[in-house]
Amino acid sequence: MMKTRITIFLLLFSSTVLYAHTKSYAKHNKGYFFDVGIAFGGTFPKNVDPRAILEVFTTHGYQFSNTFSLGAGLSTYNTENINIYLQLRFNLRNISESRTHYTYIALRGGYSWSTWTGEAWGDDKGPIVDPRFGWSFYTKGANLRWSVFVAPSIYQFHFIPKIGLAFEF
């Protein structure tokens, strides 16, 4: 079980090492992008005690303009499942070199498979809808773009409010 958890974390964070180079992240240029991040939240199922959720994720895709991108991603909640999703993201401002922050909205939709529960792997499965509202920042001294977000997610028909932090490349 521990080997599976370690493998999931390594897969999600390996993309940062593979894509490290010296381009400027001051604005979103056309072309390949990816992000990695973490989110904290809770699930509140009926007739069951609330439960804390830790999400680790990565999204890879194409930036079509300064304001629109489309990507696909992989995430996990508490390493107990594997979530695969598509993401549409709209930056609410046309990003220029002089702007160090802006807001965005994103919509993720996908499917989840459990890694532990049920009689067989994947018995606990279902849809995911994850709308996000965030604020992206550029830190010039570190050439780093990062964002914070809130997401009122629906996971397997359970409401999961989340807050998160992502690093954008």
- In sequence order, which ranges of the chain are alpha helices (DSSP H)? 2-18
Look-up of token digits 């932090």: 165
With a CB cutoff of 8 Å and minimum separation 6, the contacts of 59 are 34, 35, 71, 72, 73, 85, 87
Instruction: Please give the C-alpha separations between residue 103 and each of 1, 60, 94, 146, in angstroms, as whole numbers.
Output: 39, 20, 10, 12
pTM: 0.81
Q: Is the pLDDT of residue 124 over 60?
A: yes
The model's pLDDT over 66-118, given as tens digits with 9 standing for 90+, comes to 899 999 999 998 888 899 999 999 999 876 666 688 999 999 999 998 887 66
pLDDT band at 156 (very low <50, low <70, confident <90, very high): confident
The model's pLDDT over 27-64, given as tens digits with 9 standing for 90+, comes to 667 899 999 999 999 987 777 788 899 999 999 999 99
Q: Which fold has domain 2-20+30-168?
A: Porin (2.40.160)
Classify 141 as helix, strand or coil.
helix
